[in-house]
Structure 1
């Protein structure tokens, strides 16, 4: 009887171990991370999201792992989030990103993003040389294993040429929200 239960017991332990990885939150990826800066993104006078930049590197170093947490203040569709991201990546990257590459990234963002409502928390984790992980709340939703995508995606907020330099300064702790 013990022999029959042994494979079952081993199988259950394997599920527990694998399940632990699926339940891991983004903070597990960045032990010791603290908030570098916070800011608000507003468009046409409406609150869109509150943002927080997290890193264990103090002061912030862009080639170290970090997380960008967005807490949405209104309903926005996944499609609109993807469109806005593609538009900014195109603007910042110019001709250095091919149409094919951009289409592939757009498909990955469709997987990584969700429709959001007021209170939805999306967190992107930048992993240098590896890619990016996207979390909804504390649950890992999708991982993009493309370091070039990861860099250009987070440049939307952190590149000096961002469309919102005030928010960038707030996130980097240079300016107060």
Structure 2
């Protein structure tokens, strides 16, 4: 496979930093469940709501225009095996078809298997709605299972393909992410949601 190796999220350079940050948060935040947890993170089989920790967040801009605020959540102590959630709070209206196109373009650019992209694109077209300013979409990746998508904290559906989940989250977390500043903000030291 060209580009990002299949298990790169497990070997990514940031894994040690992420694991250390999760361990530090476990010590600092051991006195109860996360506060102000998005409802989408309360409805995921196999992940207790109190397991989620808010990591970093940052704004995605394009040509100076704010598109969305991204927030990363992690459940567990092993960054390579932990469930991940990425919540995008939109700052403007964007058609669902454009969200799908942008996702496909980025996964292709990062090196996802081109033969898989048409299948994933068809499934995302079913899952991604048009978003309005103020809407949110949350993707929850359970390693080995795929990604569950929530719009306004309501389950839209699941793309049950672990390989898709890895590449979808690579859009924001891969070392070659198109927006390295946002990636750095997402991978900041974790803290409990406020």
TM-score normalised to structure 1 length = 0.78
Which residue number corresponds to residue 173 of structure 1?
188
Which residue number corresponds to residue 154 of structure 2?
139
Residues of 2 paired with 1:163 and 1:98: CA distance? 19
Which residue number corresponds to residue 19 of structure 1?
none
Which residue number corresponds to residue 75 of structure 1?
93
Residues of 2 paired with 1:111 and 1:35: CA distance? 28
Matched, 1:39 2:58: yes
Residues of 1 paired with 2:67 and 2:80: CA distance? 25
Q: Is the 8 A contact 1:132 1:145 kept in 2?
A: yes
Greater RCO (CA < 8 Å, at least 6 residues apart)? 2
Corresponding residue pairs, total: 147
Secondary structure of the corresponding residue to residue 173 of structure 1: coil
Cα deviation code 1:131-171 (max 9, x no counterpart) = 00000011100101100001001100001110011101100
Deviation at 1:112, TM superposition (A): 1.5
Residues of 1 paired with 2:174 and 2:114: CA distance? 20
Cα deviation code 1:8-40 (max 9, x no counterpart) = xxxxxxxxxxxxxxxx84323242212111100
Cα deviation code 1:37-90 (max 9, x no counterpart) = 1100001111000010011235x7143101000000001001110110000000
Q: Is the 8 A contact 2:108 2:114 kept in 1?
A: no
Which residue number corresponds to residue 104 of structure 2?
86
Identify, as 1 or 2, the structure richer in helix. 1
Selected match of 1:153 from 139, 144, 168: 168
Residues of 2 paired with 1:163 and 1:169: CA distance? 12
Matched, 1:56 2:75: yes
Unpaired segments ≥5 residues, structure 2 = 1-38, 190-194
Selected match of 1:108 from 118, 123, 127: 123
Q: Please give the root-mean-square deviation of Cα atoms over the aligned residues, in Å.
A: 1.6
Structure label with greater radius of gyration: 1
Residues of 2 paired with 1:62 and 1:46: CA distance? 33
